[in-house]
Structure 1
Amino acid sequence: MTALGDVIEIDDRTVLVLGQELDVEHDQPDVANALVHRAGETLVLVDTGVTTEFRGALREATALVGPWSRALVLTTHGHLDHVGNNDLADELGDAEGGGGGGGGPAEHYVPALDVDQMLDPAAYWVRSFERIAGLAPLPAPPVLVAREVVSLFQPMRPFCATTRTYEERPPEQIRIGPVRFTGWTFADGAVRVLRSQGHCAGHVIVHLRDCGVLHLSDEGNGPCGAMADADQLKIQTVLGAVALLFEAGEAELLTDGHTFAVRSGAEARSYLEGLLEQAAVLREIALGLTGESRQVRPGEFTARYAEAVAELGVGGANPNAMFTAMTAANQLRELGLRPESGDIDALWSRPALANLAPPPPPLPAPPGSI
């Protein structure tokens, strides 16, 4: 059993600080794992979780990685469980870094595409819950459910005095062994922030060159994305690219936002390949549930899809009925189905291609006609 704030020591300059699972019934927010790493004289903090208790654990972890003189805080994406303590960057900028002395304001970077949800998380979650109003029963209207979810994640301080977006820096073409990414490098190339954008619109992953850690954050939260701005193709593409890094020996250790583990070598490859296989199986199941029918009753589809997910045991991080319904909605869209109207109980259907075909060309006029 792990507890919030427990630490896994990776090496003498890198630790993984463990978060906790979501428990809505007991008003417990999920808290994402955070990486604390020292690259030369730079303290690197990847995500900050949420809650005062986790903030204290992060602060203690900064003393475990050796002396540092400047600090860099990197946000992988804008979800509440990753950003609540981002203003810790202000404290780190004024701190005496493990005996090395403060180095002025800490740098803090966030993905530009996630700034809106960080400014207004309730609106982001309303959008997510409105999509599933006809797929699964909600305990209250989407607006109220969203408010309840957001209220769990307190205190919420996603910005600090020096927050900037990654996109303000020139984009770089980053080659790691056989794989090419776009992104940004820090600490003389020891820290690589790589665009992935699958779990949500702005998502990035982080590669720590000197210790071989690849932090997947939430790109590995199950085989299929749940959020309204998730991109299934990008999720599977980044999982495949990361698996290739491990095959090539360019990454040695895999960490992520929610599984409370450090995976190495063959174990990491097997884990990544397992996610890709699960994604293929679930897509096949979803296709089988829709069959050749042009119309689908979304509630019935979601119930049967949930049964398949439970039977396979592939619910991903923080499995619950609402997240499963969100994933089901994404599966329907991946198969080309859309709601026929804005009604809650509207049928989902594929376009009737026969009705979209252009009319046949007119027959040629008979000879001699005008």
Structure 2
Amino acid sequence: MTALGDLIEIDDRTVLALGQELRIEHDQPDVANALLHRVGDTLVIVDTGVTTAFRTVLRAAANRLMPWSRALLLTTHGHPDHVGNNDLADELGVPAEHYVPAPDLDQMRDPASYWVRSLDRVAGLAPLPAPSALADKIVEICQPMRPFCATTRTYEERPLERIRIGSLRFTGWTFADGTVRVLRTQGHCAGHVIVHLSDCGVLHLSDEGNGACGAMADADQLKIQTVLGAVAVLFEEKEALHLTDGHTFAVRHGPAVVAYLESLMEQAAALQTAALRLTTESPRVRPSAFTSRFEQTLADLGIGGANPNAVFTAMMAVNQLRELGLRPESGGADAPWSRPALENPTPGEIR
């Protein structure tokens, strides 16, 4: 049993600080895991979670990895559970740099609007509060929220690099003489990156492995599954040795990682196959009915993902409908979804 703030030592220069699950009904925010690593005289911090309690954990973990005389804070994406303590970089007493993904700046500035946009899609599909009320609640429990510091810049202000790791090629940015590699993946949300620490063999997947189907409005299912396959190759080629992420409170090692990643990809295929069956029983699908049966499908397949709850399940269900090619017939709450008619346009009508 793990608890908020437990530390897993990967080696004498690398620790994973464990967060906690989301429990909205108990006013408990989810807190993302944070990875801390010392390379040379630089302290690398990947994500900072949220809450004052976790901030104390980060300081203790940073002190544990001393000596260091500079700091590099890397934000994997802009969700509140990953960015709340980012201004910690201002308090470390050493020169610091902080980088965030440019596509996530808007949600970092205004997280409530981002969550309203995500939750509007599932209004009426599950017994949930109104989107604006639920968005306000998520932001309320993720406090204090300090996603920026004096040195914050976007990764995109740096020249984009072509990064080769083993047989694979990525784009992204390197730091600390190339030992810290930030790789663009953009599956879990629009700006998402993952981090590879080549000197210790750690690959931090952050939230790309949260489940078989991404929940957020800006999630990209293809990118999620593509990055899982690519990361599996890195472990097969021994370019990475230890896998960490944002919300499973463990470190995975060696060959076990490949089996784990393949299981996530198998779950994605099984889930879409099951969802396809649910949408072919009738030409029109009510999202509320689909969401209820989709939730049962998740249980039958034993697929939960990180932080399973009714909110994310409903968002996953809507994403799955879109993935299968269905579209809402109107803008009404719980309006039927169906496949657009395929008709050959007459000459001159193509637009």
Name the TM-score class by shorter chain: over 0.9
Cα separation, 1, equivalents of 2:124 and 2:233: 39
Q: Which residue is equivalent to 1:7? A: 7
User: Which residue number corresponds to residue 358 of structure 1?
Assistant: 345
- 1:157-196 alignment, distance < 5 Å: 157-196=146-185
Q: 1:129 aligns with which of 113, 119, 126?
A: 119
Equivalent of 1:284 in 273, 291, 300: 273
1:24: which partner in 2? 24
Q: Which residue of 2 aligns with 1:59?
A: 59
CA distance in 1, matches of 2:345, 2:217: 33
Read off the aligned partner of 1:14 and give its amino acid letter. T
Question: What's the CA shift for 1:149?
Answer: 1.3
Matched, 1:110 2:113: no
Q: Confirm whether residue 312 of structure 1 aligns to residue 301 of structure 2.
A: yes
| Structure-1 residue corresponding to 2:292 | 303
SS of 1:8's equivalent in the other structure is strand
Structure 1 position 135, deviation (Å): 2.4
Q: Percent identity?
A: 75
Would you say 1:35 and 2:22 are equivalent positions?
no
In 1: Cα distance, 2:39 partner to 2:199 partner: 8
Looking at structure 2, the residues matched to 231 and 155 of structure 1 have their Cα atoms a distance apart, in angstroms, of 29
Equivalent residues of 1:89, 1:108 under 8 A apart: yes
Contact residue 134 and residue 346 of structure 1 kept, 8 A: no
Q: State the TM-score, normalizing by the size of structure 1.
A: 0.92
- Residues 283-329 of structure 1, C-alpha deviations (whole Å, 9 max, x = no match): 00111100164321111111111001012221211101111010000
Provide closer, same or farther for how the CA distance between residues 283 and 312 of structure 1 changes in structure 2, counting only shifts above 3 A: same
Residue in structure 1 matched with residue 87 of structure 2 by the alignment: 87
Of residues 219, 244, 247, the one that matches 2:233 is 244
Whether the 8 Å CA contact 1:12–1:66 is kept in 2: the answer is: no
Shift of 1:360: 7.6
Bigger shift: residues 307-316 or 187-196: 307-316
2:311 maps to 322
Distance 1:360 1:152 in 2: 57
| The 10-residue stretch of structure 1 (279-288 or 313-322) with the greater mean CA deviation from structure 2 | 313-322
Runs of 4+ deviating beyond 4 Å: none
AA in 2 matched with 1:26 = H
TM-score (norm 2): 0.97
Number of aligned residue pairs: give it.
348
SS at match of 1:38: strand
Q: Is residue 221 of structure 1 aligned with residue 198 of structure 2?
A: no
120, 130, 145: which one pairs with 2:134?
145
Q: What letter is aligned with 2:290?
A: F
Question: Displacement, 1:7?
Answer: 0.3
Match of 2:182, SS?
strand
Separation (CA, whole Å) in 1 of partners of 2:29 and 2:91: 24
User: Structure 1: 5+ residue runs without aligned partners?
Assistant: 95-101, 362-370
Kept after mapping to 2: 8 A contact 1:8/1:15: yes
Would you say the 8 A contact 1:12–1:64 is kept in 2?
A: no
Distance 2:281 2:56 in 1: 55
Residue of structure 2 in register with 1:119 after alignment = 109
The answer on whether the counterparts of 1:245 and 1:251 sit within 8 Å (CA) in structure 2 is yes
| 3-state secondary structure, aligned to 1:87 | helix
What one-letter code is carried by the residue in structure 1 that aligns with 2:325? G
* Structure-2 separation of matches of 1:10 and 1:4: 18
Structure 2 unaligned regions, length at least 5: none
Equivalents in 2 of 1:343, 1:80: separation in Å? Answer: 30
Hey, what does 2:337 align to over in structure 1? 348
- The question of whether the paired residues in 2 share the 8 Å contact of 1:135 and 1:298 is answered with yes
